[in-house]
């Protein structure tokens, strides 16, 4: 998991709080929001596209499942939604 790349203090913090459902969910939410922010890069005044909302739900469910195959499937679907949205935004 991503914990392998954490500095020791961060890895210790995550390991200490991981058993808590609420802490684990907040950590997962943070990861999903970070990924979506990097993908969609919306301006402050832009509305959130439906694809971003759907991708958020897919990634969240995939990560919360704890199942690698299910996460991979959800991630692939989320990326397809992103690519569709991006294709519509491209200026030709």
> What is the distance between the alpha carbons of residues 59 and 75, in angstroms, rounded to a whole number?
6
The three-state DSSP-derived secondary structure of 32-52 is: HHHHHHHHHCCCCCCCCCHHH
CB atoms within 10 A of CB 9: 8
For 3-58, what is each residue's pLDDT tens digit? 678 899 988 988 888 889 899 899 899 999 999 999 999 888 989 999 999 999 99
For 43-74, what is each residue's pLDDT tens digit? 889 899 999 999 999 999 999 998 999 999 99
> What is the distance between the alpha carbons of residues 56 and 87, in angstroms, rounded to a whole number?
19
Whether residue 85 contacts residue 49, with contact meaning beta carbons closer than 8 Å, is answered with yes
Q: Per-residue pLDDT for 78 more than 80? A: yes
Q: Per-residue pLDDT for 79 more than 90? A: yes
pTM higher than 0.95: no
């Amino acid at each position: 998991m991503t914990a392998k790349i954490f500095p020791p203090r961060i890895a210790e913090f995550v390991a200490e709080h991981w058993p808590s459902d609420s802490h684990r969910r907040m950590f997962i939410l943070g990861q999903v929001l970070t990924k979506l922010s990097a993908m969609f890069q919306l301006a402050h005044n832009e509305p959130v596209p439906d694809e971003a909302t759907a991708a958020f739900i897919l990634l969240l469910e995939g990560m919360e499942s704890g199942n690698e195959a299910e996460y991979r499937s959800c991630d692939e679907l989320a990326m397809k939604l992103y690519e569709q949205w991006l294709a519509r935004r491209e200026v030709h």
